[in-house]
Amino acid sequence: MTWLNAFIIANLIGIGSNLDNTGVGMAYGIEKIKFPHWVNIIINFLGFFTAFLGAYMGKVFSQYTSKNSAQLVSCIVLCGVGLFILYTAYLHPRISKETSQIKLQKPGFKQAILLGFGLSFSNIATGFSSTISNSLSLWTTVISISAWGYFLIFFGNIIGIGVVSRFLGKYSSMVSGFLLIGVGVHQII
């Protein structure tokens, strides 16, 4: 794999696993709440560790399996995460009878921890699948996921007031899900 190809894949994985961060940033921005940088740092510190855990497990697992099997597992995991994102964003709300409105308040330490774990769940699977196929190094994966996580919360918060948020906010889960499925399919092509 060339360095340019690895760079593109690392950024696609970083963006795909963190587009939900954009939605969180936008949700606060729409409510005119500035997302504190220290809260963003805590969230992505947790994201760093979950991505590292997943990437490390992928590296260890890749030593005990063939490259073709590893690529297949990587494809299945990434496509599974992508499908899960699509399900939770679009199908589950339609079949669930619960409808509750949550009033957002300026995030503090407790919200940072809760958001950090909530937003980092996919980092384990994404880190695992990107290193199991030996397509990316452990640190490339972890740094990409962490950096994009921070940037996308910040970006989402900034555009939360604008017109773009109404479009991207509505479709960010769809873009994220299909992006991860696309990267997963790329693993076996």
* 84-110: pLDDT as tens digits: 878 877 777 777 766 555 566 788 898
Work out the mean pLDDT of the chain and round it to a whole number. Answer: 79
Q: Residue 189 has which token pair? A: 């092509």
Give helix 109-132 / helix 138-159 axis angle, nearest 10°: 140
Highest mean pLDDT among 39-53, 82-96, 106-120, 173-187: 39-53
What Rg do the C-alpha atoms of the chain give, in angstroms?
17
CA diameter of the chain: 51
Q: 171: exposed, middle or buried (C-beta count within 10 Å: 0-12, 13-18, 19+)?
A: middle
Average pLDDT over residues 8-26: 83
What is the sign, positive or negative, of the torsion defined by CA atoms of 120, 126, 132, 134? negative
pTM: 0.74
Secondary-structure breakdown of the chain: helix, strand, coil percentages, each rounded to the nearest 5: 80, 0, 20
| 124 contacts: CB under 8 Å, gap ≥ 6 | 50, 51, 53, 54, 57
**pLDDT tens-digit readout, 132-166:** 766 678 888 899 999 999 999 898 888 876 655 56
